Chain A
Amino acid sequence: MIQLRNVERYYETKAGRTYVLRNVNLDVREGEFLTIMGPSGAGKSTLLSVLGLLDHAWRGEYYLLGQPVHRLSARDRAALNRKTIGFVFQQYHLLDDLTVAENLEVPLSYRDVPRHQRQALVADTLDRFGIVGKKDLFPSQLSGGQQQLVGVARAVIANPKLILADEPTGNLHSSQGREIMALFRKLNEEGTTIIQVTHSEENARYGHRIIQLRDGWIVGEEVVAAAGT
């Protein structure tokens, strides 16, 4: 599904070039659940942004579903992003002045989904995630775990092939975190490819494979023997 070849990302500073990603080569299969780990500043989130087609200032080759991303225009990349990718953020990033249902509707509105379909999809998703009772609440009225549940629901509502999750349980206590990770595993089992960034060894065990990043380099790779609990 994803092939990265010699991908590099750097910033020009007064002191010269500062590399964030160096010579990254990575293959991700369709249906895989990949975990990216590494210390702070290793380049994990940057790699996620490159994968999510939000960062354009990199060099190298990137194929997503067979499409050469490195040759696509900004407009085509944005279109590919809309068609393929859903995001889950550590800080949930729900829009505070919108209700749960309205938050879920946002990605659909940007995909030009007609209004009646949007409402049907929102209703389905609310049902699927068991948050129908919360649909008219504002984010501030939800617990952290509930907010992240909405965040995940929002990421999947447009039926993406790939979910990118940046520390999805970083702000949650452990039981809430486990629920969210179980949800990711379920989505993965239903066929969605997932790439997560995490510091948590426990969460990493939910995936199939772990790669280690350090100073922009991929320094290690590990196949997870048995799924986490």
Chain B
Amino acid sequence: MKGLVREIRFALRALRKRPGFTAVAVLTLGLGLGANLSIFSLVDAALLRPPAAVREPERLVTLWTSDFSGPRYGGTSYPDYEAIAAAADVFAGVAASSPRPLSLAGVAGSERLFGEIVSANYFDVLGVRPALGRFFLPQEAGAAGGHPVVVLGWGLWQRAFGGSRDVIGRTVRLSGVPLTVVGVAPPGFRGSIRGLALEVWVPFSADRALLGFRPEGRGDRGLFVTARLRPGVTVAEAQARLDLIARQLHAAYAQEWTDVRGRPRVLTAVPERLSRVPPMARGPVVGFMALLMAIVAIVLLIACANVANLLLARAAGRQREVAIRLALGATRRRLVRQLLVESLLLALAGGALGVLVARWTTALLAGFHPPIDVPLALDLRVDGAVLGFGLLLSVATAVAFGLAPALRVTRPDLVPALRDEGSTVRAGGRRFGLRNLLVIGQVAGSLVLLVAGSLFLRTLRQATRIDAGFDPENLLLVAFDLTAERYDPARAADFYRRLEERVSALPGVRAVTLAQWVPLGLDFARRGLVVEGYQARPGEDLEQGFNVVGDDYFRTLGTRIVRGRALDERDHAGAPLAVVVNESFARRYWPGADPLGKHIGWEGPDGRMAEVVGIAQDGKYRSLGEEPRPYFYIAAAQVDARDLTLHVRTAGDPRALVPAVRAAVRELAPGLPIAKLTTLREQVAVSLLPQRLAAVVLGVLGAGALLLAVVGLHGVVAYAVSLRTRELGIRVALGARPADIQRMVLADGMRLVAIGAAVGLALALAASRLLRGFLLGGDGADPVAFVAVPLLLAGVALVSAYIPARRAGRVDPMEALRVE
């Protein structure tokens, strides 16, 4: 122990003696570790950290009903939830919840927020204690109605009520429903859906209008179900019980409990720690996180390689010191330990800097709100887990960059360093083979990141050339949720009609229409269909995407009608149902036949047969990268549509029209919150957000990695030159011109770059295959990325190697000759 303290003291002294080296090493490691800790804090917040304020989360399981179209994880209906909740032998409690956009009436108009409609035992099952007041009482259970109470989230309580304790008993209006505040949730508790900022909880019984679904409908499957296992009950035992319940439900309700392929539906229990991201999204999310971790791991490896290189360069200067120590009787183990202590101190200082970097990036990320209509809130912070990970990573990093140089410098065959230098001069690079290897690795790593980044950049460029089937320029989108505002269908239709009239009359407006869903928005609705004249194969999925659209939709969006006519004022509430299908729809269901005049019908309460009156061009509906898919359009006037988005085609900048549109809304419906206001161009940008983020992250990290690699290359070449000063001097004495020397040194440096680039290209090619899913339309083998990036890298590397090469060309042969 005493020895260790002494070694730490020695190490600190050694590091202080070379402030330049220490600063560069700590900075390099700090950036590498910072990138890793930033991403880890994201992984921690999304996947690893147990939910806040929840008791014994290891006893919680989430329960899922398999979907009608087959996938294993889907929502649960209220009657099925009640059937599951009756299984008291394995579950101490079963809670249901359903997230919902709501509006809270305040002094300055309505605030739009997200809340959960929950079963009364919700907080009991989760094991959460109120910060103030109480949670729901047993009599507030059930969907029968009559208990207008609400629990506020801590953040909302602070924000809207100043944290006042007399909020209990006060009445708030939530989406028009008066509710009495009975309690406040503890700080940190954000409900059952990670990543979503949920701020109020209302029991199912509070008001039917708030429910948004029919609690008696077994086909209305919108509930998230969470259960607490009885002590001692395993997930497997609970699963066995759920299997039995599912069989009973299938026996009793064969129609609702049979999926599209004719198989009985199943119930699945998933432990809480595996359902922090809903299981249906877990695969892609974990994959994306793994990709991010891999990227920052490459950056850290490059940083390690750089510091290892610096240490090796330093080691060369310390060989004499080490030789003396060995001659004085130090063991190799002791010397390695001494050198590793130095590395560890460097890594810990780098780790501390990394924590600062991570605090900064997490604050930056937490403040980033993508323009989407659900409030994202991931509790990003540098907590104990992140610090622990940082400590582990720092130690691993120290070993990664410190061990090889320590072993190298203490090699017993270096003892001759005590004697005068030999009488021959090394001419090649064998002496710094490890350093060369590190530079090759750095070049390869940075090339992978840069190629990947440029693939995403290319995909963004490509996206602008994709024909999406609509014109994204100069289109303003204004969304309302009249269901949440308790508008009845007639009042909603009236509001929309008057709004359309007002906005049409505004100067600079070319066309106005309404639609339920925005192209490339996050919502995408599908409906099971009956198609006239089409014989479905057994188990065929007949659900197709659709939109509910107003008059003039196709002209406003710039979507061509290929045949027949668009939906318009002829398709009013009393007229026969009309539908427009796209080209893919027509091709798929009526190949070779005339689709006009054919009929399709859809499932659901308003399921009727509609006549195909027109065929629209194919477009992009969910993502720019998707293959053409069947799609159809229903007239808004012919269905109950109360959450429509106003689409305004403008002559100029659509944003310029915002104040006028807001004023029109205020005049028509004072206090009505605008659920979302954006432009179609921004909406398209949101749909490209993953690609854009990837391009930025990879580009920034790749540029950083390239910088590190270039610095590393410069260091290696400069070091090689310093080692070879005598040799170079002799070569000059033997007749070499400065250009000969420069060429030789440059060639040595660029040989490393060429090998690194070759390795990097092979890795990048493999990586591009993995990334194919994120790239639009491209097969990943993009010639620009695979040619331009290596050329760029070679150019930058050439410059960095040229500086020491130029110095080498000016080497003074006197140095080599001076023996006196």
Contact B427 A97 (CB under 8 A): yes
Confirm or deny: A139 has a beta carbon within 8 angstroms of a beta carbon on chain B. yes
In the docked arrangement, what's the CA distance between A110 and B727, Å? 14
Contact count band on A = 35 or more
Q: Name B711-770 residues within 8 Å CB distance of A.
A: 726-727, 730-737, 740
Q: Judge whether B166 is part of the interface by a CB distance below 8 angstroms.
A: no
Contact of A97 with B428 in the complex, beta carbons under 8 Å: yes
Structural contact, A82 and B735, CB atoms closer than 8 A: yes
Which residues of the partner chain A approach B427 to less than 8 Å between Cβ atoms? 95-98
A214 to chain B, nearest CB (A): 14
Contact A110 B731 (CB under 8 A): yes
Whether A119 is near chain B, meaning CB under 8 Å from some CB there, is no
Interface residues on B, range: 20 to 34
Residues of B within 8 A of A90 (CB): 819
Digit string of B421-449 for contact with A (CB within 8 Å is 1, else 0)?
01111111010000000000000000000
Q: Is A72 an interface residue (CB 8 A)?
A: no
Q: Which one of A52, A96, A167 has the highest number of Cβ atoms from chain B below 10 Å of its Cβ? A: A96
Contact across chains for A95 and B735 when beta carbons are under 8 A apart = no
In the complex, the answer to whether B424 meets A140 with C-beta atoms within 8 Å is yes
Q: Give complex CA distance A94, B731 in Å.
A: 10
A110 neighbours in B (Cβ, 8 Å): 731, 734-737, 740
- On whether the beta carbons of B424 and A106 are closer than 8 Å, the reply is no
Minimum CB–CB distance from A66 to chain B (whole Å) comes to 21
Number of A-B contacts defined by CB within 8 Å? 82
CB-CB nearest in chain A for B734: A107
Q: Which of B584-623 contact A (CB under 8 A)?
A: none
**Does A166 lie at the interface of the complex (its beta carbon under 8 Å from any beta carbon of B)?**
yes
* Residues B426 and A97 in contact, CB atoms below 8 Å apart: yes
In the bound complex, do residue B424 and residue A111 qualify as a contact, i.e. CB atoms below 8 Å apart? no
Interface of A is mostly: loop
B817 to chain A, nearest CB (A): 6
CB neighbours of B731 from chain A (8 A): 106, 110
Of the candidate stretches A27-35, A38-46, A215-223, the one touching chain B is A38-46
* Chain B hits for A171, CB < 8 A: 423
Q: Tell me whether A93 and B726 are in contact (CB under 8 A).
A: yes
Contact A144 B818 (CB under 8 A): no
Q: In the bound complex, what is the Cα–Cα distance between A91 and B817 (angstroms)?
A: 9
Task: Check A95–B733 contact: CB distance below 8 A.
Answer: no
Confirm or deny: B501 has a beta carbon within 8 angstroms of a beta carbon on chain A: no
**Which residues of the partner chain B approach A98 to less than 8 Å between Cβ atoms?**
427
Chain B minimum-CB-distance residue to A81: B735
Interface residues as binary, A90-123 with B (CB distance below 8 Å gives 1, 0 otherwise) = 1111111110000000110011000000000000
A78 at the interface (CB under 8 A from B): yes
Known A110-B734, A110-B736; judge A44-B820 contact (CB<8 A): yes
Q: Is residue B816 contacting chain A, with contact meaning CB distance below 8 A?
A: yes
Chain B's closest residue to A144 (CB) is B423
Q: How far is the CA of A147 from the CA of B732 in the complex (A)?
A: 20
B734 touches A94 (CB 8 A): no
B813 at the interface (CB under 8 A from A): yes
Choose among A40, A45, A89, A91 the residue with the greatest number of B CB atoms under 10 Å from its CB. Answer: A91
A78 adjacent to B733 (CB under 8 Å): no
Chain B residues 52-105 with CB under 8 Å of chain A are none
Asked if B254 is an interface residue, CB under 8 A from chain A, the answer is no
B814, CB-defined interface residue at 8 Å: yes
CA distance A54 to B816 in the complex (A): 11
A48 within 8 A of B: yes
Smallest Cβ-Cβ distance to B430: which chain A residue: A97
A94: which B residues are within 8 A, CB to CB?
A: 424-425
A101-156 with Cβ < 8 A to chain B: 106-107, 110-111, 139-140, 144, 147, 154
- Contact in complex: A147, B735 (CB < 8 Å): no
The verdict on A158 contacting chain B, using a C-beta distance below 8 Å, is yes
- B423 in complex: contacting residue of A40, A81, A92, A166, CB < 8 Å: A92
A124 to chain B, nearest CB (A): 18
Contact yes or no, A96 B424, CB < 8 A: yes
- What is the distance, in angstroms, from A160's C-beta to the closest C-beta of chain B? 10
Q: Which of A152-172 contact B (CB under 8 A)?
A: 154, 158, 166-167, 170-171
Residue picked from B422, B428, B734, most chain A C-beta under 10 Å: B734
Q: Which residues of B contact A89 (CB under 8 A)?
A: 730, 816-817, 819
Tell me if A91 and B735 are in contact (CB < 8 A).
no
Given A41-B820, A49-B817, A97-B430, CB of A139 within 8 Å of CB of B733: no
CB distance from A18 to the nearest CB of B (A): 14
Residues of B within 8 A of A202 (CB): none
Assess whether B735 is in contact with A45, with CB atoms less than 8 Å apart: no
Closest B residue, CB atoms, query A74: B738
Let me know if B814 and A78 touch, CB within 8 A. Answer: no
Bits for A65-92, please: 1 = Cβ < 8 Å to B, else 0.
0000000000000100110000101111
User: CA separation between A110 and B730, bound complex, in Å?
Assistant: 12
Which single member of B734, B818, B820 contacts A87 (CB below 8 Å)? Answer: B734
Whether A55 sits at the interface, judged by CB under 8 Å, is: yes
Q: A81-B735, A87-B734, A93-B423 are in contact. List 13 more A-B contacts (CB 8 A).
A: A41-B820, A78-B735, A89-B819, A91-B423, A93-B726, A95-B730, A96-B424, A97-B426, A110-B731, A110-B735, A139-B424, A140-B424, A166-B819
27 sampled A-B residue pairs with Cβ under 8 A: A41-B820, A44-B820, A45-B817, A45-B819, A49-B817, A52-B733, A52-B817, A55-B814, A78-B735, A87-B734, A91-B423, A92-B423, A93-B423, A93-B730, A94-B425, A95-B426, A95-B730, A96-B424, A96-B425, A96-B426, A96-B427, A98-B427, A107-B735, A110-B740, A158-B735, A170-B819, A171-B423
Nearest 4 Cβ contacts at the A-B interface? A110-B735, A95-B427, A96-B424, A97-B428
Which B residues lie at the A interface, using CB under 8 A?
Answer: 422-428, 430, 726-727, 730-737, 740, 813-814, 816-820
